[in-house]
Amino acid sequence: MKGTVKVELRGPLTRYAPDHHQGGPIWFNLSEHATVGSILCSLGIAREYISMMVVNGKKAEPSTPLGEGDHVILFPPVAGG
């Protein structure tokens, strides 16, 4: 399925956004059979830098397929103490 998805990067993952996005959402034109993993690959983000992936408010995996109008949020690992 082709279309456009909105991707948000949280915390330190914003450094992977293209320069012209300045912390805002990134819009991706999808190719056939696009997944969350293909978005990670397009942005150059290694899987170990992601603690949680959410598509349309639900937990996702790299294999989760994407379609027109989906909203993807990528979260980094969080440390605390």
| CATH number, residue 32 | 3.10.20.30
The answer to the question of residue 81 being in a domain is no
Instruction: Name the pTM for this structure.
Output: 0.89
Q: What is the DSSP letter of 35?
A: B
**Residue 81 confidence (pLDDT):** 58
pLDDT for 2 equals 66
Mean predicted lDDT score pLDDT of the chain: 90
pLDDT recorded at residue 19: 72
Indicate whether 21 pLDDT > 70.
no
* Torsions phi, psi for 11 (to 5 deg): 55, -140
Residue with tokens 């992936």: 53
On whether the CB atoms of residues 66 and 30 are closer than 8 A, the answer is: yes
| Any domain includes 80 | no
User: By the 8 A CB rule, do 60 and 75 touch?
Assistant: no
Q: Note whether residue 56 is domain-resident.
A: yes
Residue 24 carries which DSSP code?
S
In a domain, 67, yes or no: yes
- First and final C-alpha spacing in the chain: 43
For 51-78, what is each residue's pLDDT tens digit?
Answer: 999 999 999 999 999 999 999 999 999 8
